[in-house]
Amino acid sequence: MDSHSSSKNGNHSRNATDLRTGTEDVKRIALILFYAVTLFLGVFGNWCIIAIVIKVKRMRTMANVFILNMAVSDLVVSVIDVPRKLQIAITMSYAYEVPSFDVVKVLCKILPFTRELSYSVSSLSAVMIGIDRYYAVICPMEQKPRVLSPKVTIPAIWLISALAYSTNLYTYKATKKEGAFYCSYRWHPLPEKETEELFLLITFVLFVALPLVALVFVYALIAVKMMNRSIPGATGAAVNSHRVRGNNKIIRLSIAITTAFFICWVPYYVLLLTLTFNIRLGDESIEISALILVLADVFEALTYTSIVTNPMICLAFSTNFRQALKELMLCQARNLQANNTNRTRIQQSMTMAYSFETISMSVESVNKDVHPRRRGVYIVTP
């Protein structure tokens, strides 16, 4: 090989390295910005939804209570799991940046568990919102079964989800490699591949496929029913029109939340199933492998947008949520102003009391220094 060819190949290698380095830098910056924004909006947005439903009495409808349940699960992920993703984006390493191996043992189990728990809670809550809308539109005059009340279903949702993904507390194990702490995923002593495939298939069916099919069926029935605008038991066109408009708004909100949620999660699960079951994606070239890595990053990031979309959709689609948020902000501003006023009054009172005490002490000090016969006021008679 001549020197010209060597120089040419060297230039190509350096250009490829520079391009690869530049791409990694862009990816790193994009992920840092994405997870930082997700952390802020996830905490702030879901906290707003929780405050609205809890503090504004008229917002405590059954559908909103399940939206509240989704917000709680999303807030948990925002606080616990997103900071870990942000740390990975900053360091570009899956190593845990903590000094103690015992801490890694806890984080290694809690982080995957809470993430999957949040997903299943949101999925089942979306199903309950659809069922609530079904009864509101299809059977508006019938009382819902007590078993469907939030007092029963919400604890059941969390319990089912926790039991389903309690395996994460076993399969994720902390490891130490070259002085760094990592988290590994192992089913040992069970068969690794077969057990992983079975578990993924079961969870996909229970928390993705069945809820999605059920919700499509329920909302299809609701759409057919909404073709007929009459409401049993409603007297007068005004009452009928008012209830129809109310149902339409809530149904649009419910469908938007459900659609956004599954758009965020279905691509990730499809790719995960494809990789787990070794489904061939055409020619296994370097380009295909690189594309899969890019899709994995994009689809994983897409799943985290689900913790932000619910608050945004609620505020965008629901006038009631926007009005309730405005009321809370005004109330908070009034309380803050009242607290500042009270604090100012207290400070003024303390200042006046201090001044009065100072004057009293000064007068007393002067009286002590005056001749005893001159301490009082004397009336001298001629």
pLDDT, tens digit, 9 for 90 and up, residues 161-218: 999 999 999 999 999 888 888 898 898 888 988 999 999 999 999 999 999 999 999 9
Distance (Å, whole) CA 302 – CA 323? 29
Distance (Å, whole) CA 129 – CA 318? 15
pLDDT in tens, 116-161: 999 999 999 999 999 998 888 888 777 888 888 999 999 999 999 9
Residues 313-325, mean pLDDT to the nearest whole number: 90
Give the pLDDT of residue 189.
87
Give the pLDDT of residue 277.
84
Domains in the chain, CATH or no CATH each:
27-229+247-317 (1.20.1070.10)
Distance (Å, whole) CA 87 – CA 321? 33
Report phi then psi at 176, rounded to 5: -125, 125
Residue 8 has pLDDT above 50, yes or no: no
Give the pLDDT of residue 157.
96
pLDDT in tens, 267-278: 999 999 988 887
pTM exceeds 0.85:
no
H helices present in 147-191, as ranges:
150-164, 168-171
Distance (Å, whole) CA 240 – CA 180? 66
Distance (Å, whole) CA 89 – CA 107? 17
Residue in 81, 88, 104, 127 with CA at minimum distance from that of residue 303: 81
pLDDT in tens, 356-380: 556 556 555 545 554 444 444 433 3
Residues 7-11, mean pLDDT to the nearest whole number: 38
Distance (Å, whole) CA 202 – CA 159? 17
pLDDT band at residue 353 using 50, 70 and 90 as cut-offs? low
Residue 57 has pLDDT above 70, yes or no: yes
pLDDT in tens, 242-253: 666 666 788 888
pLDDT band at residue 224 using 50, 70 and 90 as cut-offs? confident
Cis-peptide, bond into residue 211, ω within 30° of zero: no
Give the pLDDT of residue 238.
53
Distance (Å, whole) CA 197 – CA 273? 8
Give the pLDDT of residue 147.
86
pLDDT band at residue 16 using 50, 70 and 90 as cut-offs? very low
Percent of the chain with pLDDT over 70: 74
Residue 11 has pLDDT above 90, yes or no: no
Residue 288 has pLDDT above 90, yes or no: no
Distance (Å, whole) CA 291 – CA 285? 10
Buried b (16+ CB within 10 A) or exposed e, 133-168: bbbbbeeeeeeeeeeeebeebbeebbeebeebbebb
